[in-house]
């Protein structure tokens, strides 16, 4: 099957999946005013392969048939695959106006983690299954989401100690042709508008918790799956000034599995509790680099918005504002440099023959990005001033009796007209002062792993013995 078009992707989502938002069941996710934001953002993944300017990067050949397929499905079995992935993800985020389409990267990062762990386990059955699944998705050009985080309940307790056994997704029965699972996965990006969902454990487990050590993939319209989505903003955003290209973003969901049947051939881990945490670690090894890569275009775009706001307010030459500029540039360019350094020093993950960006540097990049984002946003808010949250809306601008007042009083510095200044501040409100802006700040902390997760990885990956050996040599201690 050839690469799908964006329209074919949308049509594939009309499959009777069970999705709710704001308490109402959604008959068609492609038309819901909130979920459509995510659908149209994800659709960029299906536009890239048909764009002559991006085809060389976005399309590869099927290793068996020679047909075109998305480069996202490349097996990273050479160091060069890391650089190709970096350029693909960065291009996708740029192409979608600073919002990664998000419906192939997470899924394929999980596939790569699953394949690596199957090799570490020396489990040929699991590796064959994940390979079959990879090429099934690639040849049908399917979209995928990843489900890692359980609802967790009391975080001070292990899964087996919780008040409810369903705070972590688990196997509740096993049949001749598969397994039955129940539980829920939280914070699942884009699940309402993907074809498939891949599920893996989120943490370490004990032998008594073996039922929680399960990994699988199934279609999103599988009976027993219910999604409860939270809106971010409407596709037809009525309050902000319109822009030539619509605003992009994604919708999260609580995905509930109520006695869901998973076919045996779609099971990639079943009660191998010793490897549960390692699978979560393997996924993070691949996905954390994807995370810091797609954020680069976002930082560049936001830095530009902040600088334009200073111009519109006539404060771009003020010393305190120039200090803000320096911090924004430092933050953006350091994040880019760390991502590039990780890309240029790939490593074979756990001897699996699959290559990842340098683990230590990838985690440094993600921790640096997440630790400094709020100050970066605060700088933009400072530059904008109070108009960021008090400006008249686009609805006011469209009112004939009000527009002359706005044209008279809301003009900016230099050649910035009232309309240009209000349009700019409207976009800035969306990015750093709206519900969406709050979502972005929280996701920066918790998505792709929390501060604690990255710090733990730094402690594991840092060459601490080399540090100490060098210190001993200088001091004159026995090495």
Query: Across all residues in the chain, what is the average pLDDT?
Result: 94
Q: What are the residue ranges spanned by the domains of the chain?
A: 278-468
Range 13-30 average pLDDT: 97
Give CA–CA dist 132/72, Å, rounded.
Answer: 16
Estimate the crossing angle of helix 276-313 against helix 359-384, to 10 degrees: 30
Contact 272, 121 (CB under 8 A): yes
Give CA separation, 428 vs 40, 48, 385, 410, 417, in Å.
Answer: 21, 27, 11, 16, 17
Range 189-217 average pLDDT: 97
Give CA–CA dist 93/79, Å, rounded.
Answer: 23
Give CA–CA dist 142/128, Å, rounded.
Answer: 19
Q: Residue 252: how many CA atoms within 13 Å on its side-chain side?
A: 14
Phi, psi of 186 (to 5 degrees): -110, 160
Distance linking the first and last C-alpha atoms of the chain:
61
Per-residue pLDDT at 196: 98
Contact 90, 100 (CB under 8 A): no
What pLDDT digit, counting tens, does each position of 111-120 carry? 999 999 999 9
Per-residue pLDDT at 243: 86
Contact 109, 287 (CB under 8 A): yes
The CA R_g of the chain, rounded to the nearest whole Å, is 24
Higher pLDDT, 331 or 233: 331
Give CA–CA dist 432/410, Å, rounded.
Answer: 21
Give CA–CA dist 373/175, Å, rounded.
Answer: 48
| Whether residue 1 has pLDDT greater than 70 | no
Range 51-78 average pLDDT: 95
Contact 101, 377 (CB under 8 A): no
Tell me the whole-structure pTM to 2 decimals: 0.94
Give CA separation, 391 vs 239, 397, 410, in Å.
Answer: 11, 11, 9
Distance from the Cα of residue 43 to its chain's centroid:
15
Give CA–CA dist 226/257, Å, rounded.
Answer: 7
Q: Which of 298, 437, 449, 466 is nearest to 364 (CA)?
A: 449
Give CA separation, 384 vs 21, 389, 405, 426, 429, in Å.
Answer: 33, 9, 21, 11, 9
Per-residue pLDDT at 313: 97
Give the CATH class of 278-468: mainly alpha
Kindly tell me the sign of the dihedral angle through the C-alpha atoms of 85, 70, 48, 242.
Answer: negative
Give CA–CA dist 111/73, Å, rounded.
Answer: 9
Residues of the chain above pLDDT 90, percent = 87
What pLDDT digit, counting tens, does each position of 142-181 carry? 999 999 999 999 999 999 999 999 999 999 999 999 999 9
Per-residue pLDDT at 376: 97
Q: Which of 102, 222, 203, 257 is nearest to 456 (CA)?
A: 203
Residues of the chain above pLDDT 70, percent = 100
| Whether residue 269 has pLDDT greater than 70 | yes
What pLDDT digit, counting tens, does each position of 445-478 carry? 888 777 777 887 888 888 999 999 999 999 999 8
């Amino acid at each position: 099957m050839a690469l799908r078009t964006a329209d074919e992707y949308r049509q594939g989502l009309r499959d009777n999946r069970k999705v709710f938002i704001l308490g109402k069941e959604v008959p068609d996710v492609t038309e819901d005013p909130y979920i459509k934001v995510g659908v149209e953002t994800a659709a960029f993944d299906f536009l890239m392969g048909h764009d002559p300017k991006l085809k060389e990067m976005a399309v590869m050949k099927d290793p068996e048939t020679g047909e075109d397929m998305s480069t996202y499905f490349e097996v990273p079995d050479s160091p060069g695959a890391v650089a190709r992935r970096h350029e693909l993800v960065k291009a996708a985020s740029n192409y979608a106006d600073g919002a990664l389409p998000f419906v192939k990267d997470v899924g394929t990062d999980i596939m790569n983690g699953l394949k690596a762990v199957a090799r570490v386990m020396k489990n040929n059955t699991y590796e064959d299954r994940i390979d079959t699944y990879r090429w099934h998705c690639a040849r049908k050009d399917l979209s995928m989401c990843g489900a890692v985080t359980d609802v967790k309940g009391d975080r001070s307790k292990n899964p087996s100690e919780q008040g409810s056994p369903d705070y972590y997704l688990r196997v509740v029965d096993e049949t001749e042709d598969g397994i039955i699972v129940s539980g829920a996965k939280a914070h699942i990006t884009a699940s309402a508008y993907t074809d498939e969902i891949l599920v893996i454990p989120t943490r370490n487990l004990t032998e008594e918790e073996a039922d929680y050590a399960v990994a699988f993939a199934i279609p999103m319209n599988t009976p027993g799956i219910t999604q409860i989505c939270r809106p971010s903003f409407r596709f037809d955003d009525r309050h902000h000034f319109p822009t030539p290209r619509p605003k992009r973003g994604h919708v999260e969901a609580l995905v509930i599995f109520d006695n869901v049947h998973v076919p045996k051939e779609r099971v990639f881990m079943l009660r191998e509790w010793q490897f549960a945490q390692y699978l979560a670690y393997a996924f993070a090894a691949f996905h954390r680099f994807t995370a810091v890569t797609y954020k680069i275009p976002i930082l560049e775009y936001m830095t530009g918005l902040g600088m334009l706001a200073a111009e519109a307010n006539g404060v771009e030459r003020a010393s305190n504002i120039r200090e803000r500029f320096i911090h924004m540039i430092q933050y953006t360019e350091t994040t880019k440099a760390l991502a590039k350094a990780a890309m240029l020093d790939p490593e074979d993950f756990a001897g699996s023959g699959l290559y990842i960006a340098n683990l230590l540097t990838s985690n440094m990049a993600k921790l640096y990005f997440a630790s400094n984002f709020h100050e970066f946003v605060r700088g933009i808010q400072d530059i904008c001033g109070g108009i960021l949250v008090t400006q008249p809306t686009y609805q006011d601008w469209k009112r004939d009796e009000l527009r002359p007042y706005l044209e008279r009083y809301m003009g900016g510095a230099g050649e910035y007209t009232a309309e240009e200044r209000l349009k700019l501040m409207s976009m800035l409100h969306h990015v750093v002062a709206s519900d969406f802006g709050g979502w972005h700040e929280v996701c920066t902390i918790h998505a792709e792993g929390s501060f604690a997760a990255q710090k733990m990885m730094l402690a594991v990956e840092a060459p601490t013995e080399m540090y100490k050996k060098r210190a001993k040599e200088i001091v004159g201690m026995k090495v």
